[in-house]
Amino acid sequence: MGKLNGKVAVITGGNSGIGLATARQFVAEGAYVFITGRRAAELEAAVREIGNNVTAIPSDVSKPADLDKLFATVKQAKGRIDILFANAGVAESAPLGEITEDHFDRHFGINVKGALFTVQKALPLLVDGASVILTGSIVGSKGVATDSVYSATKAALRSFARTWTSDLASRRIRVNVVSPGFIDTPGLRKLARTDGAGLEKAYAGRVPLGRVGQPGEIAKVVTFLASDDSGYIAGAEVFVDGGFAQV
C-alpha cells in the first residue's frame, strides 16, 4: 500500500518539471491526481507519461474563472481534495532599474494571486486534515541579484503558509512550503539558457553537495509533506537545495 493510497490530489503546473515529477510520484504512491497547466500539448504528453489515475485540466492560475472550472471538474469527478500542491509559477530575471510593470504584474499575478486563489477556491473541497503544499524557492531567503520581483513572490508564499496555518487550524489543514534550490527543470534551463550539462557547470560549484538537484528529489519531499508521515508538520518551510541556502 502506498503512502497516498486512495487520496485525491490536485497539482497546478503539473505538466512539466517538479509538478510532473510529483504527479508521477503521487500516482505511484496510490493517489488519483488532477494536473493543470496552460499548454494543452504538454498536459497531454504528461498524461501519456503518467499512464493512469490522472486527469489533465487546462488552466491558468492567474485567471479565477479557470480555477472555478478546475474545481468544478474535480468536484464532479471526485467530490473532494486530500492534497493540494500549488506549484504553478513563473521565473524571469530583471535587475532593479529595468523592472517593468508587466514583469511585476506577471510574477505577482501567477505566483502570488494564482496561489492565493488556488487555495481559497479549493477550500470547499479540501477535507479536514488535508495537506496544502506551496512551491517556494531558495530566493525567498537569499538575495540573488536580478531576481527581486520573483524573490518577493516566493517570500509572500512563505508568509501565506504561516498565516493560512493559523486560518485553517480549526480544520487541521496543514500548509507547508517546499523550497527548491537549483533543480534541473525546463524552467531553470530556460532561465539559464543552457542544457543540463550547462546547469552543472554554472551552479554545482555553488552547492555544498556539489551538484544540481533533480525534480524527483523535490517530488519525494512533497510526497512526504502530503502524507501522514508529516502529520505534525505545519507552517514550515522545507529546503531541498543541497545546502545552498543553509550554510
**Residues taking part in catalysis:** 150
Instruction: Give, in degrees to the nearest 5, the angle at Cα 178 between 213 and 154.
Output: 100
Maximal C-alpha separation, the chain: 54
- What is the 3 state secondary structure string of the chain? CCCCCCCEEEECCCCCHHHHHHHHHHHHCCCEEEEEECCHHHHHHHHHHHCCCEEEEECCCCCHHHHHHHHHHHHHHCCCEEEEEECCCCCCCCCCCCCCHHHHHHHHHHHHHHHHHHHHHHCCCEEEEEEEEEECCHHHCCCCCCCHHHHHHHHHHHHHHHHHHHHCHHHCCEEEEEEECCECCHHHHHHHCCCHHHHHHHHHHHCCCCCCECHHHHHHHHHHHHCHHHCCCCCCEEEECCCCCCC
Residue 115 corresponds to which amino acid? A
C-alpha cell at 29: 504512491
Residue with cell 500549488: 86
